[in-house]
Amino acid sequence: VTVTHSNYPPAISFGTSRYVKLLGNGDPAHKYGFYVGGTGGGASGVSVDGKSSDVELAYIEVTKTGFAGIMVKDDNAPQEQPGFVMENIIIHHNFVHDTEGEGLYLGQTQLATIAHEIRNVLIHNNIFVRTGWEGFQVSNLVGNVEVRNNVVYDCGRANIRWQNNAVQIMGNTFGNFHHNIIAKAKGNLLNGIGTGINFHHNYLEDAGELAIWANDDWNGKTYFGPQAKDPNNMTKVYANYIRKVN
């Protein structure tokens, strides 16, 4: 299935939807059964928004998008439905490349006091390459979060300050990030502003700036929720392999 257009809306969009599986593995002759071949300026390839929850995205190729390859968040939820929590998001075995924005944009990059939270997240075995902004950026992921076995390569190509990293973990994020290959970025390979992050057993290579930048106390914790003030929720960075840092 091929979806390509030159307009603003996302090529594939789920708004206020639940219990959705978009899986492109129905035909063994095609590794990626869904192909998003382009969107207009500012539009993402696949979007999960509204008060959506319980969504699985897999075996999808996304390229030439005007913004993010895959975007999962709802900017209006906190105002329209205070207390809304998006849950059970699984993203795996996708190939996202040559995007104007992020490969994956998951969660609102807003203050924890006004953004909705996302719980029960699994991101694994994806490939994010040649992205204009970060390979993937996550924020406000607060419980049962695992990001593993992904390849993130050649990111931040537009070299826009604060958006030129390979992986960006924003505030109010807690989880395990492990066994990922992260290589080649204009900025940092890991920009870690979250708290309660376990970042371990990753391979990092070819940083334009720093291999890892991590800070539990960014902006006086105004970016974080109440869990950030718990001394047990400290970021832990260990057992990573790092080479070729400029």
Q: Mean pLDDT in each 10-residue stretch from start to end of the chain (246 residues)?
A: 91 96 96 97 95 97 98 82 91 98 92 81 98 95 94 97 92 91 96 82 96 68 52 81 87
What pLDDT score was predicted for residue 8? 82
Q: Which residues contact 131 (CB under 8 A, 6 or more apart)?
A: 69, 96, 97, 98, 99, 101, 102, 103, 154, 155, 156, 157
Distances in whole angstroms, Cα of residue 206 to Cα of each of 31, 32, 161: 29, 29, 18
What pLDDT score was predicted for residue 190? 93
What pLDDT score was predicted for residue 229? 53
Instruction: Find the angle CA(56)-CA(60)-CA(66) to the nearest 5 degrees.
Output: 105
C-alpha count within 13 angstroms, C-beta hemisphere, residue 130: 7
What pLDDT score was predicted for residue 142? 87
